[in-house]
Structure 1
């Protein structure tokens, strides 16, 4: 991959070209008469094939999350559903895009739409019809295992960005599926939330996507006020259909159906529907929309080991846990199926027809009945999408601290880059439901910086070597003889001095090889040894002393075709592009039994297997080398990372590393690759901090350009960065009912509308960095605020923004509305609420007027008593500035 400067104008031109070349879909409305005619020709079972997932035939299966059979007899095509966000997850690796929280940090609807364009184009390339994104739950609880994948804590920001993404995706002829509806904002599965907060906070982003024409919505796993979200008449019928006028289809989250009668409460489609018998999900996901006779055999049990492997396991730095608890997942709650329900009349064929009609409506609206689908796999637009990814990563950069102008780095200076994510880009953070990325396209910040600043004196210290070295031949034996015993799929035995079979050393094994290695490893001293099972083209399990230590995450019957992706188990692949199963094992001095067992994935790629490790002594040497490198450099740049496990904390000894480096180098800069806030015990000891999120395949270049000032960071925080975890509403010790554990098994969002910065403002809690915060390498001033009534009942807010510094940069004027002077009894208001924003680029010295429209809804609240939106009386004030806590301009809203 080449290093290339990407100008904003080129970026926007590229996006415009993408959109212009897209198919003219979706149509505003479908052909109702055509749909009616098709439904009249369908049998009951054919209608079921429009509302129940199935298993795609192996010959064409792309390993996507879901498959809908369609009705081939009548020309109704099948649909493929693929996971995200971001990007597209199939058996073929897609490009890694900037993490969703990074997209939110751009505060740019243009960037959001461009990312939608890239996602839609990638989906078309990979033969996908429905992309399971945007993810628009609220980042209410930063300990929520999936909170990192949201678009931030504010419903307005989330809605604007989500709507932009939907427009970009669907302009490519691909259906978007907004998820997860609704109040899926905690690891608890039993949520209680009042109707005002439900409407104003949790439903609001979904309403924005509906206005953008989203084709489908995914209902969530949790209960909402006592009923499962996928069978909740209040949220699915009253709110989604009646109040919001949604015309598309509602798909269950995978395994989110617990009763066939959910279809009577507003559910359209069951996913995954039929589950392969050998899938690890078979024991935990029942097919309720089944019309054939029930299986009479004993029910299978979930393959917990396989599921644990799929979720990534615990790498050595993540000693404090985090992540999803599969034991808490709601299991089946009823035995009746569609077959029995139709027979006893509790579900009618008319209900099935109505559900099938909703799906057929979108199939027709998108032109799929007229052949506008694309199911063949073709080359991805790596360069075109790559430009979008790099531009997004640059726009997402948030400068949190810049004491003494330590940044940007001078191109002829001396600096040390420290940390594994300095050598390799932290493209995806955690594998999850997203594009796995392409290691062959990834350029690390170190390499990028050397090319962009050839006159600089650059050193590198890995500090935490995640690739390690092969276990030496002198430490491996079997039956008292040197080397490990190898047994292949035919039972043929041989001996290998080391376990190191890769393309790098020219010893990769033939495709579809199945091999087991057994023997002993001898260690001289007791201690924590970090073992790295590294694979590609195969799956593997590592056992020590007869106990399974770790396994690769590719699992047959799950969501990406049983193909082992290089980024799956460690986030960072090895430096030569292998998947990396890393585990810490305490060993006593002496011999220990060791076994590696492989099995076939479906890639048919050469089988690569290597067993590396890092001894305690090697780790100590690397740590010392990092301190020495920092001491001998003019500036020390420490790259730190997290996969959001543990929460609100950097994994391993990264905090200690920063402290020690800052002690030997007064010019220490920290680059964060995270997706949620982390504690910063070292914040007063370093001069610079820049948040780069998980920036995608092209992020290493974006990081280098940001450090060097070739990109002026203009991103803003999409969440409040607290000083303590307990500062957040969901984690307040005074309110245990709000936590995941809740009280008496119930989690109550008792903070109401006071989510994120609203809670901090209401409780007068000083954050470390406020919502909407972000510095720049230049300075800006705002003036001339005016607020005028608009014809639609809203207002137009105008402000002048001036770049008072010496370099080009971006600013985001943010508009907040205060609470009404007169508050109706029983109605909750935040001290201030975001109601408008825009991102503007200004040359040095340039001033520009910006006008932002604030819609009438911003002035209304949801009346629980009246069950409608109501505008309160009393004076309101608009405030404008650069963050939720920096609002120097204000003006009274005209009556």
Structure 2
């Protein structure tokens, strides 16, 4: 299919977006009215934290009596309300991501928001954004639940160990296409606040980085909300304020109350659904799973039980004792209860008449002894991580390696060497190297259970016993060896250069031709699915609008193509499949990943039934960030289209053709074909810009076009209104609108605007 792109570029000076756009207009009107009644002291108090122990939350502002404005309560966190009893401890965001279920993402967000609101929270400090997470359903759910969401940590906080000192040095294209993208989507979803991070970005602290806060967030992305510092991340006063920081939140320590009503409602059902559907079945041989009334089971490993000191026995979960249901740090919540794997399996065993033997330590010899008496052994291992203010077992936030903790490989090896069929269940914060485990012939199944929260055991039992077919998919790649990732797990001294650029995770594996152990998007099921009927439908791309909205230019979010496919359950049990859409940019684009995930859809199907999945593609989804013009560019040519069950299991393929009517021209050396008509002085927000208008004397052939640097403007009555700066220096390229204004003298006919840097020209010029 063909679609056409007709953006218009021109020359102007920088301008800044106005506040109160779109859905925010009413709020800004109210805010301006309130400001007129406030003293300077009131204004300072509204945007300054009062300290950790001077309010009910981890962040508090003073009440403003002059406008009857309440003291704001800002509270952690991303998986439950911190320092509160009677709340739900949800699965972690990474486990929610492994469900690939947009409805569950929203439901979890809504439950988080409604519980926080019921406890008097105004701003909930979450969710956490990541470079592969681009669907803002959690933000939408939280704010629908009645609180302000706070997307964090902006930006480049991709490790913990040196986050307080290191600079994340990220090139412009990589930043836009990976790290900035999820924040843009959150802003498009009207997220209320964004938290700047502890680290530096390109050598400047994020909370005083004007290019980030004022440039990217508030100008380019038209962010209408407020920027709040991470706790203690502000380094200067005037510098931060002038850079765009709106609220500062310092504090030394916190010992706030743990009271409050029980606000869980029926949210345990959402927690269980995510714990269940976030499980990824990596291996299943010899009919090992699901379990069907087994005669005997051995349950082995410390990870199978609740921490002997209690589920909340370690402050901020600062230990790896018992089953791993959440990591450690300020993003934790108090467990109202914790169903451990052993508890849930014992409950089912009572119904089935299964004999259970246990070894609830990580001692290999004890584990082997327990396994010898059973028909099947289930071994539990884990790998933990958290925030850098806590060190657990030598790990200062980040993990020290990609091995299971507590010598988990040794435990599995000892059990498997008894020749008892062995099922390995892994709770982990991220990828592990599994080669030692997978090389053991007796290991017949591997279950990746993530970080599943309070319903850990129940969600696992649903999968092990087959009441639900596994339907989770990996949200990252599991490699065969650490070197396949292209980085050292131990951080190098100094700053982080992000030299891998766009090629993280599956993008790197594709680029380098590396065979992963388990690819991004992989996950087995108890049933099978067939893919058919790939359809590629294109919609005219139009000329591209330069209207700025939260999230960037409005045309970036225009749907310009739709991909659809039919999924059929041709197996023997009902199940759900996650169909994934990958797009490859055409050769006209600069070097890009082989394939990029651009959509996914989960469809539940009874045996023999089919369903259609549809993937809308927006202009941005098909574009790349051009560092020269500082804009998103939709390249022309053939896009590769793949739909499949993972990033490597691609069942259907096709092409999408984009015919771009723009031609990039070389720099202009003379004006032989042009005649200057008039020079205008246009005032844009107190900046005077001189624009030279030229009229075409003769038709330019394609040959001459290739040597000229022009930007075609369809001309109407009135002066040019310059909008949307994409770079902030002299001679930059900008989008241009023509505006009706009969009082200004104008030349007639088709006109051209000369630029001082590369520009696009319409090839259809006549």
Q: Shared fold by TM > 0.5?
A: yes
1:71-110 maps to which residues of 2 (within 5 A)? 71-92=64-85, 94-110=87-103
Following TM superposition, by how much is the alpha carbon of 1:674 offset from its aligned partner in structure 2, in angstroms?
0.8
Task: Tell me: CA distance 1:137–1:173, structure 2 relative to 1, closer, same or farther (3 Å).
Answer: same
- Asked if 1:632 corresponds to 2:398, the answer is no
3-state SS of 1:430 partner = coil
Find the partner of 1:684 among 439, 454, 458: 439
Following TM superposition, by how much is the alpha carbon of 1:93 offset from its aligned partner in structure 2, in angstroms?
6.0
CA contact (8 A) 1:407 1:688 kept: yes
Equivalent position of 1:858 in the other structure: 621
Equivalent position of 2:230 in the other structure: 253
Q: Distance between the aligned counterparts of 1:229 and 1:669, measured in 2?
A: 45
Following TM superposition, by how much is the alpha carbon of 1:124 offset from its aligned partner in structure 2, in angstroms?
1.7
- Asked if 1:262 corresponds to 2:264, the answer is no
Following TM superposition, by how much is the alpha carbon of 1:625 offset from its aligned partner in structure 2, in angstroms?
3.4
Following TM superposition, by how much is the alpha carbon of 1:766 offset from its aligned partner in structure 2, in angstroms?
1.2
Q: Distance between the aligned counterparts of 1:847 and 1:217, measured in 2?
A: 41
CA contact (8 A) 2:364 2:415 kept: no
Equivalent position of 1:700 in the other structure: 457
Q: Distance between the aligned counterparts of 1:803 and 1:34, measured in 2?
A: 54
Following TM superposition, by how much is the alpha carbon of 1:38 offset from its aligned partner in structure 2, in angstroms?
1.6
The CA RMSD over aligned residues, in Å, is: 2.3
Find the partner of 2:571 among 788, 797, 805: 805
1:113-512 maps to which residues of 2 (within 5 A)? 113-138=106-131, 154=132, 158-160=133-135, 163-187=136-160, 188=162, 189-260=166-237, 261-272=239-250, 275=251, 279=253, 378-424=260-306, 426=323, 428-438=325-335, 441-453=337-349, 454-464=351-361
- String of CA shifts for 1:567-592, please: whole Å, max 9, x gaps: xxxxxxxxxxxxxxxxxxxxxxxxxx
- String of CA shifts for 1:362-416, please: whole Å, max 9, x gaps: xxxxxxxxxxxxx997533434111110011111010000012211111243211
Equivalent position of 1:292 in the other structure: none
3-state SS of 2:507 partner = helix
CA contact (8 A) 1:54 1:68 kept: yes
Equivalent position of 2:428 in the other structure: 674
Q: Distance between the aligned counterparts of 2:459 and 2:27, measured in 1?
A: 46
1:736-747 maps to which residues of 2 (within 5 A)? 740-742=491-493, 745-747=494-496
Task: Tell me: CA distance 1:861–1:462, structure 2 relative to 1, closer, same or farther (3 Å).
Answer: same
Q: Distance between the aligned counterparts of 1:413 and 1:778, measured in 2?
A: 25
Equivalent position of 2:487 in the other structure: 730
CA contact (8 A) 1:397 1:714 kept: yes
3-state SS of 2:417 partner = helix
- String of CA shifts for 1:3-26, please: whole Å, max 9, x gaps: xxxxxxxxxxxxxxxxxxxxxxx9
Find the partner of 1:760 among 505, 509, 527: 509
Higher mean C-alpha deviation, range 118-127 or range 249-258: 118-127
CA contact (8 A) 1:450 1:456 kept: no
Task: Tell me: CA distance 1:396–1:873, structure 2 relative to 1, closer, same or farther (3 Å).
Answer: same
Unaligned runs of 5+ in 1: 1-25, 139-153, 281-305, 311-374, 466-621, 733-738
Higher mean C-alpha deviation, range 783-792 or range 167-176: 783-792
Following TM superposition, by how much is the alpha carbon of 1:73 offset from its aligned partner in structure 2, in angstroms?
3.3
Task: Tell me: CA distance 1:99–1:464, structure 2 relative to 1, closer, same or farther (3 Å).
Answer: same
CA contact (8 A) 2:374 2:420 kept: no
3-state SS of 2:518 partner = coil
Q: Distance between the aligned counterparts of 1:183 and 1:694, measured in 2?
A: 23
3-state SS of 2:567 partner = strand
Q: Distance between the aligned counterparts of 1:790 and 1:411, measured in 2?
A: 54
The count of corresponding residues between Structure 1 and Structure 2 is: 583
Equivalent position of 1:366 in the other structure: none
CA contact (8 A) 1:96 1:438 kept: yes
Following TM superposition, by how much is the alpha carbon of 1:27 offset from its aligned partner in structure 2, in angstroms?
6.7
3-state SS of 1:698 partner = helix
Following TM superposition, by how much is the alpha carbon of 1:850 offset from its aligned partner in structure 2, in angstroms?
1.4
Q: Distance between the aligned counterparts of 2:191 and 2:91, measured in 1?
A: 22
Task: Tell me: CA distance 1:178–1:214, structure 2 relative to 1, closer, same or farther (3 Å).
Answer: same
CA contact (8 A) 1:814 1:880 kept: yes
3-state SS of 1:218 partner = strand
Equivalent position of 1:594 in the other structure: none
Higher mean C-alpha deviation, range 229-238 or range 416-425: 416-425
- Asked if 1:886 corresponds to 2:649, the answer is yes
Equivalent position of 2:406 in the other structure: 652
What's the TM-score, normalizing by structure 2? Answer: 0.73
Task: Tell me: CA distance 1:651–1:181, structure 2 relative to 1, closer, same or farther (3 Å).
Answer: same
Equivalent position of 1:576 in the other structure: none
- Asked if 1:815 corresponds to 2:581, the answer is yes
Q: Distance between the aligned counterparts of 2:409 and 2:87, measured in 1?
A: 33
Equivalent position of 2:634 in the other structure: 871
CA contact (8 A) 1:630 1:665 kept: no
Following TM superposition, by how much is the alpha carbon of 1:666 offset from its aligned partner in structure 2, in angstroms?
3.9
CA contact (8 A) 1:820 1:872 kept: yes
Following TM superposition, by how much is the alpha carbon of 1:814 offset from its aligned partner in structure 2, in angstroms?
0.3
What's the TM-score, normalizing by structure 1? Answer: 0.63
Q: Distance between the aligned counterparts of 1:716 and 1:56, measured in 2?
A: 40
CA contact (8 A) 2:63 2:70 kept: yes
Following TM superposition, by how much is the alpha carbon of 1:462 offset from its aligned partner in structure 2, in angstroms?
3.1
1:567-646 maps to which residues of 2 (within 5 A)? 623-644=364-385, 645-646=399-400
Equivalent position of 1:846 in the other structure: 609
Task: Tell me: CA distance 1:391–1:706, structure 2 relative to 1, closer, same or farther (3 Å).
Answer: same
CA contact (8 A) 1:773 1:883 kept: yes
CA contact (8 A) 1:423 1:462 kept: no
3-state SS of 2:472 partner = coil
Task: Tell me: CA distance 1:96–1:723, structure 2 relative to 1, closer, same or farther (3 Å).
Answer: same
Following TM superposition, by how much is the alpha carbon of 1:69 offset from its aligned partner in structure 2, in angstroms?
1.3
Q: Distance between the aligned counterparts of 1:203 and 1:723, measured in 2?
A: 30
- Asked if 1:831 corresponds to 2:580, the answer is no
3-state SS of 2:370 partner = helix
